[in-house]
Amino acid sequence: MPLVTTKELLLDAQNRGYAVGAFNVENMEMVQAVVAAAEELNSPVIMQTTPSTVKYADLAYFYANVKVAAEKASVPVVMHLDHGDSFELAMRALRTGYTSIMIDGSHESFEDNIKVTKAVVDACHPSKVPVEAELGKVGGKEDGLDGGNGGYTDPQEALQFVEATKVDSLAVAIGTAHGVYKGIPKLDVERLSEIRKVVEVPLVLHGTSGVPDEAVKECVKRGICKVNYATDLRIAFTKGVKEYISANPNVFDPKKYNALGREYVKQYVMSKMCVCGSKGKAI
């Protein structure tokens, strides 16, 4: 089916108490793996690229891969810009055909975050493309993103931010971090519940690779509708490639070792779709 937007998917997730998994893809095999997982579980899915991934190739390369995969699929697929770091990049993604845009102004002041987010919302909404923003700061460092030690989302600021920007979904900072965790993260789920009480739009959890599954389930129960995974997909793909080459040191055909990486990503994505509760929820 054609690519869809996050608007309907996340509202359905919010109404039915599950979350949609959002998976960062770096190459064709990862795109294939994520769609194969969604098809097998009859799950909606979001695929996304960060600014550094886009720099490595181009918005159009990744869009074309995901567009083809979506057209061959029987489940809803979204193409999302993750952590868009400027108004200009957000507009390039919109013109390319991305069906969901994130503008991340969390490194700016509260007022400047509102300003850039509202500008992107005003530009995207006439095309019926939804916008995600971030308030507070998800910590950690990965893929050119540096959240430092992070900063928690204030519930009342979240209410003010959503009302001022008319954003469609909001990524909140409750103790997760980007990249590889050095220990087990401790999430402030009570803060999440307080945000959910005052904010009506779907909430998003970033930095979820490495977060225990039970903690993610608790966050979904408390209102998270979109869960982002990135680092662990890379780890799964690389593990498959390394294993194949180690067992077959004379291999020179990338199709052979990439295929095992693809299979490992598929299995990982399926497991996280089950954690999010999206199995069987394709609409």
Question: Tens digits of per-residue pLDDT, 233-259?
Answer: 999 999 999 999 999 999 999 999 999
Q: Where are the beta strands (DSSP E) in the chain?
A: 20-24, 45-49, 77-84, 100-103, 131-135, 139-142, 145-146, 169-172, 177-178, 203-205, 224-229
pLDDT band for 186, please (50, 70, 90 cuts): confident
Question: Which residue from 102, 163, 112, 111 is spatially nearest to 138, judged by alpha carbons?
Answer: 102
Which of helix, strand or coil describes residue 259? Answer: helix
Catalytic residues: 82
Reported as a pLDDT band with limits 50, 70 and 90, residue 149 is very low
Residues 6+ apart with CB under 8 A from 253: none
pLDDT of residue 151: 79
Q: Is 61 a residue whose pLDDT tops 50? A: yes
Residue 141, pLDDT > 70, answer no
Cα dihedral across residues 58, 102, 233, 38: positive or negative: negative
Average pLDDT on 194-211 reads: 94
**pTM: predicted TM-score of the whole model, two decimal places:** 0.92
Question: Helix or strand or coil: residue 142?
Answer: strand
Which 8-state DSSP code applies to residue 199? -
Count the neighbouring beta carbons within 10 Å of the beta carbon of residue 210. Answer: 19
